[in-house]
Amino acid sequence: MLVADIDKGGALAAVVETLELLAPEDRKMVAGIVINKFRGDRELLKSALDCLEAGMGIPVLGVIPYLCFAVQEEDTVNYELRPASNGSRVVEIVVLYLLHIFNFTDFDPLKGEPNVYLPALY
């Protein structure tokens, strides 16, 4: 699957260029195209997607709308000390910051738990 970010523009041209630059055996592995971060009415994009499908011979599998939500920070630690908001019992979870560790974002879901105290240790 080839996914193109349309938010900054030029996505359809980038899809065509990418497919044209692929070796034939690699191009055969692309099962479909997905357009990501689309803002607006999908019907306005329909004729361009139809043209893209016809010209490239690869189906457009979907258009994903632009969604604005909190995305996890990648490979960084940005935790703040916070007390329990409701005064109830709190589970304290300590995350040690090590120089060669990845995936600190695995702990991000714990930030939203009301009974979790997640101090940052550096």
pLDDT single digits (tens) 48-69: 999 999 999 999 999 988 876 5
Sequence letter at residue 53: E
Residues 3-39 pLDDT 10s: 999 988 899 999 999 999 999 999 999 999 999 999 8
Tokens of 46: 């329909």
Per-residue pLDDT, 50: 96
Q: What is the pLDDT of residues 83-104, one digit of tens each?
A: 555 556 677 777 766 666 666 6
Indicate left, alpha or beta for 29 from its phi (over 0: left) and psi (-120 to 50: alpha).
Answer: alpha
- SS3 at position 99: coil
